[in-house]
Structure 1
Amino acid sequence: MPTSKDQDIGVGIPTRFVEMIFPEQANHYGTLFGGHALSLMGKAAFIAATRRARCAVVMATSDKIEFHEPVRVGELVELTATVERVGRSSMTVVVDVIAEALVTGRRCLAVRGSFEMVAVDAAGRPTAITPDPFSPQEDVFS
C-alpha cells in the first residue's frame, strides 16, 4: 500500500498510451481494422480499471463503441482511458482514441467507447473495490 509520501498514481489519473498503425493492423481499405481498435481499447480499459481497483479485473461489457473517423496506416493513435464510475465491484471506463497524422499534426477523435469492468477474486467472483482515497480533482503529487 502506498504511504502518504508515495501516493497511488492509479487513482484519478487517466491511463494513456500511443501506438503507430501499421499495415498488419489495417483492413482492406488501408484503415485501422475495427477489431484491432477494440482490442487496443480493451487493453486501455483493463489497465485503467486495474490501476483503480488494484486487483484482478475482467471485462463484463463493451457499450456504445462509436467510430467517428478512419485511422489510416502510418497514423498514430493515442488512447486515453478514464474510470468514470466506481460501484461496489464494477467500474465504467470510457476510452477515447485520438488519431494523429504525424506529418501534418492533424488530430481528431476517431473512436470512443465505454467498458464495464468488474473486480474479481481468485475464484473469478466479483469482489469489492476499495473506496477512492482521493477525489478525481485532487493533486495526488502535492
Structure 2
Amino acid sequence: MTELETHPAASETRLCEMVFPEQANHYGTLFGGTALSLMGKAAFIAASRHARAAVVMARSEQIAFHHPVSVGQLVELHAYITRDGRSSMTVEVEMISETLSTGHRSQAVKGQFEMVSVDEHGKPKPYRQQA
C-alpha cells in the first residue's frame, strides 16, 4: 500500500475564494485566466504537500468550463492527486461555484495538472524512492 493510499488527506487541498468585480469580465463572470490561476494554485499546494519537495507545473490539460461563475459567488477548489509517479504526478482540480444566499452548488470548471518535482536547477528530481 502506498502513502497516497494510506494518507489521502495529506495529498488533498481545498481553497475558497469570493468572486469580486476586479476578477470578472464585462459580462460579470469570472475571467477564465483567473479561474486557471486559482486552479493552478490549488494544484501546486496539493502537489507540494504530496511530494514535500519543490514542484512546478509542467502541463495543464482537459480544462472544461461547464458554466460561468458570477460576481458575488463563492468558488471552492478541490485538488487531489490522481497519479503518483517517481518525479511527477497528476493533480485533478474541481472548481465548484456556490450561491451563498441559496446554497446552490455546481461544478463550474474541472481540469488536470501535471506537476513535477524539481531540484535547485529546475531539473526533474525524484521525490520518492521507488520500492
TM-score, normalized by length of structure 2? Answer: 0.90
Q: 2:8 aligns with which of 12, 16, 33?
A: 12
- Tell whether 2:32 aligns with 1:41: no
The number of equivalent residue pairs is: 122
* CA distance, structure 1, for counterparts of residue 90 and residue 32 of structure 2: 21
Gaps in structure 1 of 5+ consecutive residues: 1-10, 133-142
The answer to which structure has the higher helix fraction is 2
- Shift >6 Å, 4+ stretches: none
Shift of the alpha carbon at 1:119?
Answer: 0.2
- Tell whether 2:28 aligns with 1:30: yes
Shift of the alpha carbon at 1:123?
Answer: 1.2
Return the letter of the residue paired with 2:108: A
Q: 2:119 aligns with which of 114, 121, 124?
A: 121
Instruction: Give the SS at the match of 1:116.
Output: strand
* CA distance, structure 1, for counterparts of residue 104 and residue 129 of structure 2: 39
Instruction: Give the SS at the match of 1:49.
Output: helix
Shift of the alpha carbon at 1:88?
Answer: 1.2
* CA distance, structure 2, for counterparts of residue 23 and residue 103 of structure 1: 18
Q: Find the counterpart in structure 1 of residue 3 from structure 2.
A: none
* CA distance, structure 1, for counterparts of residue 102 and residue 46 of structure 2: 30
Return the letter of the residue paired with 2:87: S
Return the letter of the residue paired with 2:99: A
Shift of the alpha carbon at 1:12?
Answer: 1.6
- Tell whether 2:19 aligns with 1:21: yes
Spell out the pairing of 1:87-102 with structure 2 (5 A cutoff): 87-102=85-100
TM-score, normalized by length of structure 1? Answer: 0.83
Q: Deviation string for 1:71-114 (max 9, x for gaps)?
A: 00000000000011111110000000000000011000000000
Gaps in structure 2 of 5+ consecutive residues: 1-6
